[in-house]
């Protein structure tokens, strides 16, 4: 084998070795990365009346956000195709169960860029029992200034927006946000 061919083979080994190291490094980085977390974010709606949510749920019944006036309401924008929404869904189920008392905080879903059937299957699969309103055309999402799912809004008993949370929530995070919002209102 000529010296040139040997040199070329040597270089190819180096390139392959480097690519392997970079690939393994990326896999390790992605595998050990902490999951996306919920964060409270700016919204010009905070402190202002919550936009109306009037429509039909994925189950076919009618819904009006005003019917929940007097209770804290957690409005969650979600889609079945969104991985962070899939991540937070069991946490929302836990939250809904822990706040199942009739006067406790209520949970409402708003379907974001998803079909009613897709959203229905997603909710049934996770054991969700709260109403989820379909939003054809994304009008409700636009009224709330939603950029992408999941986004969650806390609506105070007087109907004003208390907080906007972006990213997948946990039951504990929602409880803490509610406590903080209740203290701010009191």
Partner 1 sequence: MTARRFSPRARARVPWVALVVVVGVALGVGANHPSAPTAPQREAAIDASLRCPSCEDISVADSSAPTAVAIRQLVATRVAAGQSDAQIDAFLVSRYGPGILLRPPVSGITAAVWIVPVVAMAAAGAGLAVVFWRRRRLETVSVAADDRRLVARALAEQAGGGPGPGRDTAPVP
User: Is 53 near partner 1 (CB under 8 A)?
Assistant: no
SS3 label, residue 59: coil
Measured from the CB of residue 57, what is the shortest distance to partner 1 in angstroms?
20
In whole angstroms, the minimum distance from the beta carbon of 151 to partner 1 comes to: 10
- Full 3-state SS string of 21-47: HHHHHHHHHHHHCCCCCCEEECCCCEC
Residue 143 contacts partner 1 per CB under 8 A? yes
Q: How far is the CB of 178 from partner 1 (least distance, A)?
A: 23
Q: Please give the C-alpha separations between residue 142 and each of 51, 52, 96, 134, 137, in angstroms, as whole numbers.
A: 10, 11, 25, 13, 9
Instruction: Give the contacts of 113 (CB within 8 A, at least 6 positions apart).
Output: 79, 138, 141, 149
| Nearest CB to partner 1, comparing residues 11 and 142 | 142
User: Cβ 69 to partner 1, closest distance in Å?
Assistant: 21
CB of 128 to partner 1, least distance (A): 22
Cα–Cα distance for residue pair 68/159, rounded to 1 Å: 9
Nearer to partner 1, 35 or 148 (CB): 148
The binder of partner 1 chosen from 63, 72, 144, 153 (CB under 8 A)? 144
Contact between 50 and 155 under an 8 Å Cβ cutoff? The reply is: yes
Q: Does 43 bind partner 1 (CB under 8 A)?
A: yes
If residue 162 lies in a helix (H) or strand (E), which one and from where to where? strand 161-166
Q: Is 44 a binder of partner 1 (CB under 8 A)?
A: yes
Residue 85 to residues 7, 90, 118, 174: CA-CA distances in angstroms? 52, 10, 13, 15
- When the beta carbons of 121 and 148 are compared against partner 1, the nearer one is 148
Applying CB under 8 A, does 148 fall inside the site for partner 1? yes
E strand or H helix that includes residue 90: helix 83-98
Residues 110-129 contacting partner 1, CB under 8 A: 112-113
| Shortest reach from residue 110's CB to partner 1, in Å | 13
Task: List contacts with partner 1 (CB under 8 A).
Answer: 42-45, 48, 112-113, 137-139, 141-148
């Amino acid at each position: 084998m000529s010296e040139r061919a040997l040199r070329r083979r040597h270089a190819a080994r180096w390139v392959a070795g480097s690519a392997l190291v970079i690939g393994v490094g990326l896999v390790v980085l992605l595998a050990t990365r902490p999951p996306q977390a919920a964060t409270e974010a700016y919204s010009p709606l905070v402190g202002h009346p919550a936009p109306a949510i009037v429509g039909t749920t994925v189950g076919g019944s009618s819904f009006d956000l005003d019917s929940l006036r007097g209770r804290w309401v957690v409005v969650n924008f979600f889609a079945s195709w969104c991985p962070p929404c899939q991540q937070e869904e069991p946490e929302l189920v836990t939250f809904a169960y822990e706040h199942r008392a009739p006067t406790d905080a209520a949970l409402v879903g708003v379907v974001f860029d998803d079909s009613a059937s897709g959203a229905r299957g997603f909710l049934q699969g996770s054991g969700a029992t709260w109403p989820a309103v379909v939003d054809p055309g994304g009008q409700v999402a636009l009224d709330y200034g939603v950029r992408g799912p999941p986004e969650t809004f806390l609506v105070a008993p007087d109907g004003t927006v208390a907080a906007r949370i972006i990213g997948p929530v946990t039951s504990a995070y929602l409880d803490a946000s509610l406590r903080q919002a209740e203290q701010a209102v009191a």
